[in-house]
Amino acid sequence: MSVEHIFSHRHILGLADLAPADIAFVLQTAESFKEISQRSIKKVPTLRGKTVINLFFEPSTRTRLSFEIAAKRMSADTFNISSAGSSAVKGETMVDTARNLAAMNPDCIIIRHSHSGAPELLARHIKASVINAGDGAHEHPSQALLDLMTVREHKGRIEGLKVAIIGDITHSRVAHSNIIGFTKMGAEVRVAGPATLIPPGIAAMGARHCATVREAVRDADVVMALRIQQERQLDPLLPSLREYAIFYGITPAVMALARPDAIIMHPGPINRGIELDPALADGSRSVILDQVTNGVAVRMALLYLIMGGAE
Ligand code: CP
């Protein structure tokens, strides 16, 4: 069913800013764009003449490349700049870097930064649209949108599903955006992980904190394992990765508690054998590569909607 909707957002800073109708509209738009990537000529003229800059201050494989592919498939001109190759290494502030990029009149800047709130700061200082490609432990909105799209594709709906998110919830921007997104769309979200990696306020976000992974996964329709983000832990918050794998790793025995048709998700990159058993990562219930495929479609939809294509 097609949804009529006016998408009025100029920036995509987090799913907290999007209404359920906005999310549904992005998913519907992404579903319609997915077919373009199946064609032999994978290009449409929709964003011809638009300029998109990827400004990545942290490493990325999936997000950066899929935003670039998405923009190129819509005929926008794309440029990549990373912190290592920019004047940030000479001491230039992020806002100064952004203002200089803005002086070249881009239409959209996609930013990944280790500091929560960096995309919002950027949006306050420049005229171009800003998309948050992951800021610190805050939000990763395009990841949650591609996760929602993947679940809807496999389950036919989101409302009423039981979604278990397992691992380092405190440091995971993916977990935060997914808790917001799945609860807004009517799913029941449960989280589990080491007590040191579960932030306060989970109930206020609409999710349920389960004492064990088994409790979270029981009867779940979707099981999402998260990467342990050692780079964001200021102090060691785990006794060892081996112990983490024993108590919190998703294994065939854990998955046996989920619904028989439950799907396994992971935002990547995977620490194989720690948060997820390699046989499950590569098995028939895994939709991990579908998430990556849908990432291109979701990012095409976001670029289209914020750069005036919807008009
Ligand atoms: N899921 C995700 O953000 O992956 P990258 O760090 O490779 O972009």
Cis peptide before 269 (omega within 30 of 0): yes
CA atoms within 13 A on the CB side of 284: 2
Per-residue confidence band for 91, with pLDDT thresholds at 50, 70 and 90: confident
- Among 54, 57, 60, residue to substitute to test ligand 1 (most atoms within 8 Å of Cβ): 60
Q: Is the CB of 141 under 6 A from ligand 1?
A: no
Long-range interactions of 251-257: CB distance < 8 A, separation 24+: 251/277, 251/280, 252/277, 252/279, 252/280, 254/213, 254/214, 254/217, 254/223, 255/217, 255/223, 255/280, 255/285, 257/214, 257/217, 257/218, 257/219, 257/220
Q: Is 1 a residue whose pLDDT tops 60?
A: no
Residues 280, 264: contact at Cβ < 8 Å?
yes
229 lines ligand 1 (CB under 6 A): no
Residue 96: is its pLDDT beyond 60?
Answer: yes
When pLDDT is averaged across residues 163-187 and rounded to a whole number, the result is 97
Check if the beta carbon of residue 163 is closer than 8 Å to that of residue 179.
no
pLDDT at 67 over 90: yes
Atom of ligand 1 nearest to the CA of 112: 8
Residue nearest to atom 3 of ligand 1 (CA): 63
193 CB within 6 A, ligand 1 = no
Looking at residue 309, its pLDDT comes to 58
Measured CA to CA, the distance from residue 132 to residue 122 in angstroms comes to: 10
Our answer on whether the CB atom of 134 is closer than 6 Å to any ligand 1 atom is yes
Whether the CB of 267 sits within 6 Å of ligand 1: yes
Q: Which residue ranges make up each domain of the chain?
A: 15-140+292-306, 141-287
From the CA of 64, how far away is ligand 1's center (Å)? 8
Q: For residue 267, which of 157, 187, 176, 162 has the smallest C-alpha distance?
A: 176
Calculate the average pLDDT of the chain.
94
Structure-token match 């389950």, residue found: 155
Overall average pLDDT of the 209-232 stretch = 92
Nearest C-alpha neighbor of 71 from the set 290, 298, 268, 289: 298
In angstroms, how far is the first alpha carbon of the chain from the final one? 21
Cα separation, 30 vs 8, in Å, equals: 17
Query: Which atom of ligand 1 lies nearest, measured to the CA of 143?
Result: 1
Question: Strand, helix or coil at 223?
Answer: strand
Q: Considering only CA atoms, which residue is closest to atom 1 of ligand 1?
A: 267
How large a percentage of the chain has pLDDT more than 70?
A: 96
Q: For residues 222 and 148, what is the distance between their CA atoms, to the nearest angstrom?
A: 11
Query: So what's the pLDDT on residue 203?
Result: 95
pLDDT for res 95: 87
CA-proximal residue: ligand 1, atom 4 (nearest): 62
Question: What pLDDT shows up at residue 220?
Answer: 98
- Residues 43-55: b if buried by 16+ CB within 10 A, e if exposed: eeebbeebbbbbb
Q: By alpha-carbon position, which residue is closest to atom 6 of ligand 1?
A: 60
Single-letter amino acid, residue 307: M
227 has a pLDDT exceeding 80:
yes
Is the minimum distance from the CB of 60 to ligand 1 under 6 angstroms? yes
* 15-140+292-306 CATH choice from 3.40.50.1100, 1.10.10.10, 3.40.50.1370, 1.10.390.10: 3.40.50.1370
Integer-rounded Cα Rg, in Å, for the chain is: 19
Q: How confident is the model at residue 193 (pLDDT cuts 50, 70, 90)?
A: very high
- pLDDT, greater one: 92 or 29: 29
Please say if the pLDDT value at position 15 is more than 60. Answer: yes
178 vs 83: CA distance, rounded Å: 27
Q: Which tokens in the block code for residue 110?
A: 């996609």
Cβ neighbours of 241 (radius 10 Å): 15
Q: Report the separation in Å between the CA atom of 59 and the middle of ligand 1, taken as the mean of its atom positions.
A: 8
Give 116-144 pLDDT, tens digit per residue.
Answer: 999 999 999 999 999 999 999 999 999 99
Mean pLDDT of 16-44: 97
CATH fold for domain 141-287: Rossmann fold (3.40.50)
61 lines ligand 1 (CB under 6 A): yes
pLDDT at res. 2: 61
Ligand 1 centroid–CA 230 distance in Å is 15
Q: Residue 256 and residue 258: Cα distance in Å, rounded?
A: 6
What ligand 1 atom has the least distance to the C-alpha of 133?
3
Q: How far, in Å, is the centroid of ligand 1 from the Cα of 39?
A: 25
> Which of 54, 58, 62, when mutated, tests ligand 1's pocket best, judged by the most ligand atoms within 8 Å of its CB?
62
Q: How confident is the model at residue 311 (pLDDT cuts 50, 70, 90)?
A: very low
Atom of ligand 1 nearest to the CA of 65: 8
Q: List, in sequence order, every residue forming a beta bridge with 286; answer none if it has no partner.
A: 264
Q: How far is the CA of 168 from the centre of ligand 1 (A)?
A: 15
Kindly state the tokens that stand for 12: 């995509």
Whether the pLDDT of residue 57 is over 60: the answer is: yes
Q: Give tens-digit pLDDT for 238-277.
A: 778 888 999 999 999 999 999 999 999 999 999 999 999 9
Q: In a 3-state reduction of DSSP, which class is residue 166?
A: strand
